[in-house]
Amino acid sequence: MKTYEIFALKYAGPLEGPAMMLQWMKRIGETARRGYFFWCIRGAGGDPDETFIVDAGFSPAAAADREIPGYVNPVEMLARLGVDAACVKHVILTHLHWDHANGVSLFPNAAFYVQGKEYRFWKENPLAQRPPFRHIGDDGAMRFLSTLEGSPRLVILDGDTDIKPGICCVLAPGHSVGLQVVTVQTAKGTAVVGSDCAHVFENYTEDWPSSIITDMLEWLRTYDKVRALVSDTALLFPGHDMRMVEDYHLVAKDVTKLA
């Protein structure tokens, strides 16, 4: 079986905020740090056709508008790993919240993989325009992706889909309507790049989702599903935990090898 390496790239933060945001209705009144990450999955030799970016981060304009500390353009972060964003062919969007999808225009030659349930919700469902969803959505990302409809650069997935041997997009709703995680065959076994399926490692280990919830019942079923996919629960990687940059092998400033 083809194996890949997984790298976490922290492109913003740390940001101090309510701990309850990271674990629903727990640690009320406490604060906790979170970082903003995206991920690079890379085969041997750095072949662009075997390099997959998971999530697109957000743009310098969005960082300035929201006053996010510690921001570094994702293009620069990838350069630290020796990856040219202009040459990236594959970007998997786990979901279409602003901090994971706003940066789509930073990848001018990539194909974007997104679940149909997620894409249609943000594009067609009137509820997406209600205040709680508008707060976490991104109109700019949707306009950009809409221009790619009908072209090979927008790949709409219908449930669990193998992208390449050793890489599979897996429907994992709960945090959002059509969030997907990415299973990756690594030298350590099957790993899951979960993005906001869990904000921090404790969401998985304590079976306790974060506070941004579309469907709690689906989210708990998703946890059962993703735990069954990995070779070891230590290979379940969350979306915003600072330990991804603090506790793993550092290969460049704010870039670590997870597996």
pLDDT tens column, 105-127: 999 999 999 999 999 999 999 99
63-77 mean pLDDT = 97
| Residue 28 scores a pLDDT above 90 | yes
**pLDDT > 90 fraction of the chain, expressed in percent and rounded:** 97
CATH number of 24's domain: 3.60.15.10
| Residue 1 scores a pLDDT above 90 | no
Counting Cβ atoms within 10 Å, is residue 82 exposed (0-12), middle (13-18) or buried (19+)?
exposed
**Which of 216, 226, 224, 198 shows the shortest CA–CA distance to 21?**
198
- What pLDDT sits at residue 62? 97
- What pLDDT sits at residue 46? 76
Q: Which domain, by its residues, includes 205?
A: 5-257
Full-model pTM: 0.98
Q: Give, in order, the Cα–Cα distances in Å from 218 to each of 160, 173, 242.
A: 15, 6, 26
- What pLDDT sits at residue 35? 98
**pLDDT > 70 fraction of the chain, expressed in percent and rounded:** 100
pLDDT tens column, 173-206: 999 999 999 999 999 999 999 999 999 999 999 9
Q: Tell me how many domains the chain contains.
A: 1
Please calculate the CA angle 37-58-112 and round it to the nearest 5 degrees.
85
- What pLDDT sits at residue 45? 78
Residues contacting residue 175 through CB under 8 Å, at least 6 positions apart = 95, 196, 197, 209, 210, 212, 213, 214, 219
What confidence tier does 48 reach under pLDDT thresholds 50, 70, 90?
A: confident
| Residue 72 scores a pLDDT above 90 | yes
Residues contacting residue 185 through CB under 8 Å, at least 6 positions apart = 1, 2, 3, 4, 165, 166, 167
